[in-house]
Amino acid sequence: MKQLQEKQVSVAGFYTTEKRDTHGNRIGFNIVTTEGMTAPLAAIKSDGDGTRLPMIGRYAVDVVGFERVALPLMEKMELLSDTFCRALASLLDQRRCALLLTIPVAGRGRPLPVVERIRGHPHALLVTVLDNKSTWWQIDADVGVTF
């Protein structure tokens, strides 16, 4: 997104960053909006923590915090939000804007209805990203949008 903003392409949305402890171990994720707002998305749940948040693997997901800060990266954590899924479905149907989304790879885990809807949408163009360094070049080659 930073590359798009530097080229003065209008963008709105969010991305995730990893939270790491002093030893470099990943302990969670933050969500960062294009407007600069940051909030916790998920963290490793400690045994003594009495909160009852949805779990993805070893991470407790703060769905309410996510909904407060941002409503488009699509992985299992974000897809726990019904509000997000409804908003995304509405955007897909309207076709007023181009959406650049990341979705989980097919065949890994249980299929998610909103992801399958995107994957099968008649106007969806799926690009498999091989590595982060070539992401923008792949999009340019596959979609014809130059960044």
- Please name each of the domains of the chain with its CATH number: 2-143 (3.40.50.300)
**What are the φ/ψ torsions at residue 88 (nearest 5 degrees)?**
-65, -45
- Residue of 89, 96, 91, 37 whose CA lies nearest to 67: 37
Tell me how far apart the 2 most distant CA atoms of the chain are, in Å.
Answer: 51
Total Cβ atoms within 10 A of residue 124:
13
More confident residue, 115 or 10: 115
Q: For residue range 26-71, what is the model confidence (pLDDT) as tens digits? A: 999 998 887 788 888 999 976 555 567 888 888 888 887 777 776 5
Q: For residue range 115-138, what is the model confidence (pLDDT) as tens digits? A: 888 888 877 777 776 665 555 555
Amino acid at 142: D
Give the pLDDT confidence score for residue 73 in this predicted structure: 47
CB 78 within 8 A of CB 14: no
Q: Output DSSP code: residue 81.
A: -
- Which helix (H) or strand (E) is 19 found in, with range? strand 14-20
